[in-house]
Amino acid sequence: MTWLALPNALLQGGALLLAGRATALLLRVDRMPDVASAMLAERSRRIARVGGVLLVIGALLRIGVTAWAMADGEPLAPLVVAFTRDTWPGQGTALLAVAGALVFATVRSWWMSGALLVVVALLLAATGHATEVAPAPLWIALDATHAMGALLWIGGLLVIAPALRRSESGALLARFAPIALASAAAVVITGAARVWRAVWPLEAWWRVPYGQLLLVKLALVLLVIGLGARNWRAHRGRQVLDAAVATRVHRRAQWELIAASAVLLVTAWLGTTSPSD
């Protein structure tokens, strides 16, 4: 259902912003000297609240669009109620809306934000294509881990990006690097497992829409990884960067975020396409 791409994108975006807050709390950006810590802490709180709003709007829109597609001239309200009450996709999506509302109560606690992020990642996986593959619990866990890796990596980068133009940002990057590297590894490993199971044999990659979209996503992910690797090499072992290096790091981080936003949009579109099509 093509119209589901919009609510899917809103849900992905909301989860990304929530992950940014969780990563900022994990990094303790509010206690880091010389990298505009107060600005980063306030930025992470602000984007988390926006993320909560996006989760609520995306969940309600997904329920409405799904009910509208089922309507066929019937009254819409009873279908909304029936979909939300009687089906797991509807129930799971309603829980995503609840999770979005709870974001406003968890923005000050790293473990509550982290727990809520895990719940959101699991709900996104459990209301997607992972349920179509046996054994479903295994693939839901893999999809959730894949999402968590991408969200922590890019969400964290979104929060710290404004500080990367400063020469003192080497210390901040050094603290963020282990999270980014672990997240990138999780994305690559779980993504490879999921793709191998979903699109096989190899010629299906360019014959079916799902495989074609995966190729686009793979190219974008490789671009994001390449930009991140360049920035990691630029700061490695240095707590303070000279002005020229800091400028290049900041510019690459901006391109990394643009490419990651494209990945998010392709992922939202993938949610409307069946691997078997």
Q: Quickly tell me which residue has 């020469």 as its tokens.
A: 167
DSSP states of 57-116 as a string? Answer: HHHHHHHHHHHHHHHTTS-HHHHHHHHHHH-HHHHHHHHHHHHHHHHHHHTT-HHHHHHH
Q: State the pLDDT at residue 232.
A: 79
Q: Which residues contact 117 (CB under 8 A, 6 or more apart)?
A: 15, 18, 19, 22, 148, 151, 152
Q: Where are the beta strands (DSSP E) in the chain?
A: none
Task: Give the three-state DSSP class for 238.
Answer: coil
Q: State the pLDDT at residue 243.
A: 74
Other C-beta atoms closer than 10 Å to the C-beta of 246 total 22
Each residue's pLDDT, cut to its tens digit, for the chain (277 residues) gives 567 788 989 999 999 999 888 888 888 776 666 656 777 888 888 999 999 999 999 999 999 988 888 877 778 888 888 889 989 889 999 999 999 999 887 767 767 888 888 999 999 988 877 677 677 788 888 889 988 988 998 998 998 888 887 767 777 887 888 888 898 888 888 887 777 766 555 566 667 777 778 888 888 888 988 888 888 777 766 666 677 777 888 888 899 999 988 988 888 887 777 666 5
* pTM of the shown model: 0.85
Query: Distance of CA 45 to CAs 28, 179, 194, 207, 224, Å?
Result: 13, 19, 33, 44, 25
Q: State the pLDDT at residue 161.
A: 85
Q: Which residues contact 208 (CB under 8 A, 6 or more apart)?
A: 199, 275, 277
Q: Exposure of 9 by Cβ count < 10 A (0-12 exposed, 13-18 middle, 19+ buried)? A: buried
User: Euclidean distance between the first and final Cα of the chain, in Å?
Assistant: 12
